Amino acid sequence: MKVATVVGARPQFVKAAPVSRAFGAAGVDEVLVHTGQHYDGGMSDVFFAELGLPAPRHHLGVGSGSHGVQTARMLRAVEAVLRHERPDWTLVYGDTNSTLAGALASVKLGVPVAHVEAGLRSFDRRMPEELNRIVTDRVARLLFAPTPAAVQNLAREGICGAWVHRVGDVMLDACRMFGPLAERSCDVLERLALDPRRFALVTVHRASNTDDPRTLGVIVAALARLAESLRVVFPVHPRTREAMVRHGLEARLRGPGVALLPPVGYLESTVLQRAAAVVVTDSGGMQKEAFFHGTPCVTLRETTEWPELVELGWNVLVPPHDPATIAGAVLRAAGGPRPSRASTDALYGSGEAARRIAEVLVG
């Protein structure tokens, strides 16, 4: 069986790593297609190297652009690859423009699509990711849902039956697979002189937080305030760096309490999340990873695709309106008692999602 896997953005490299291994074990011929949505070494190459992903068989070099331009370039290039490779299935991950383009190009050629991380919804259609998810789930033939809530979301949209498989979360697989290697091989805590549980790990990259200077200003002011009581470690996404520089906000985080870093790879991110007192983020994946590592999370958004973590008390949603409110919530999460983990470990499966995906596809 031949499967074309379309990836392009940082979180997709992480999700593809365990599935690629499972495909190898199941004898699947996987054609890895990299759209080039993320192209910097720190956003792309480092993940291939650390996670042992094979070099992409096709690199489409699409790069950045407006949503229409970027997606159109991907559609055109993915279509050409699929015509050439003639796979039995196309596999896409998550909710990025690469996901949407891979799915659309494929179904238009009559090649069925399997979607990993199907059924997630923020119920906020202002997010480009929400539109990408809805369309991809609509056209997919096999839907691999990570959680019971995702299965319910699909059922509400009339997508159910043999097409939907609750397999668990491939990010948990990745976490189990690479966690020990990260602990053994990564010296980021020593290099940055960080004491475990004495710092906040921060990431921000959502369009809703970076593209409006007022919102970004609130987040920067909150981090500056937080840094007075808790060290802040902030690997900065290129789009966020660019927006902070453009609006003159970067200088406000130049104090001794803040470590502004380039984007970190998967292994460093793992060690930092494990050691942090609290994770502050707008990333979807890091909300879960923080939980996997037993670290509380504050999410700088109004909504989340992972409501179960909010219900359990591991994640707090704090929309970025006011610096003092954000800083207060982060300090409370960092210093408060950790919620119980009893009976929650099965929430995202047992770390066997990749194997099950391979089994279903081969079957």
- Single out the residue of 1, 26, 39, 339 in contact with ligand UD1 (rule: CB under 6 A): 39
Q: Assess 165 for contact with ligand UD1 (CB under 6 A).
A: no
Give yes or no for a contact between 21 and 104, defined as CB atoms under 8 angstroms apart. no
Return d(Cα 120, Cα 123) in angstroms, integer: 9
Give yes or no for a contact between 282 and 209, defined as CB atoms under 8 angstroms apart. yes
Clarify whether 59 is annotated catalytic. Answer: no
**Per-position x/- string for 91-130, each x denoting binding to ligand UD1 as judged by CB under 6 A, each - no binding:** ----xxx------------------------------xx-
Segment lying near ligand UD1 (by CB under 6 A), choices 19-27, 170-178, 238-246, 249-257: 238-246
Give whichever of 304 and 334 is closer to ligand UD1, judged by the CB atom.
Answer: 304
Return d(Cα 88, Cα 255) in angstroms, integer: 54
End-to-end CA separation in angstroms for the chain:
10
Interaction residues for ligand UD1, span 64-83 (CB under 6 A): 64
**Per-position x/- string for 190-219, each x denoting binding to ligand UD1 as judged by CB under 6 A, each - no binding:** ---------------x--------------
Q: Which two tokens stand for residue 84?
A: 């050439």
Return d(Cα 279, Cα 232) in angstroms, integer: 10
Q: Assess 269 for contact with ligand UD1 (CB under 6 A).
A: no
**Nearest Cα residue to 234 out of 257, 215, 216:** 257
Return d(Cα 111, Cα 90) in angstroms, integer: 7
Q: State the residue for tokens 């480092």.
A: 46
Q: Assess 11 for contact with ligand UD1 (CB under 6 A).
A: yes
Give the nearest distance from C-beta 327 to ligand UD1 in angstroms: 24
SS3 352: coil
- Counting Cβ atoms within 10 Å, is residue 344 exposed (0-12), middle (13-18) or buried (19+)? middle
Give the nearest distance from C-beta 86 to ligand UD1 in angstroms: 27
Q: Assess 10 for contact with ligand UD1 (CB under 6 A).
A: yes
SS3 164: strand
Given 115, 205, 237, 293, which residue is catalytic?
205
Give the nearest distance from C-beta 130 to ligand UD1 in angstroms: 10
Return d(Cα 12, Cα 100) in angstroms, integer: 13
Segment lying near ligand UD1 (by CB under 6 A), choices 37-45, 113-121, 165-173, 267-275: 37-45
Interaction residues for ligand UD1, span 289-328 (CB under 6 A): none
- Single out the residue of 179, 213, 238, 313 in contact with ligand UD1 (rule: CB under 6 A): 238
Segment lying near ligand UD1 (by CB under 6 A), choices 8-16, 112-120, 306-314, 316-324: 8-16
Return d(Cα 87, Cα 31) in angstroms, integer: 8
Give whichever of 23 and 47 is closer to ligand UD1, judged by the CB atom.
Answer: 47
Give yes or no for a contact between 315 and 309, defined as CB atoms under 8 angstroms apart. yes
Q: Assess 265 for contact with ligand UD1 (CB under 6 A).
A: no
Give the nearest distance from C-beta 303 to ligand UD1 in angstroms: 14
Return d(Cα 140, Cα 93) in angstroms, integer: 11
Please give the order of strands across the beta sheet that includes 113-116. 58-59, 29-34, 2-7, 89-93, 113-116, 142-145, 164-166
- Single out the residue of 157, 183, 195, 242 in contact with ligand UD1 (rule: CB under 6 A): 242
SS3 193: coil
Give the nearest distance from C-beta 345 to ligand UD1 in angstroms: 25
Per rule CB under 6 A, count of chain residues that contact ligand UD1: 18
Distance of CA 200 to the CA centre of its chain: 19
Give the nearest distance from C-beta 205 to ligand UD1 in angstroms: 5
Active-site residues: which are they?
Answer: 205
Binding site for ligand UD1 (CB under 6 A): 9-11, 37-40, 43, 64, 95-97, 128-129, 205, 238-239, 242
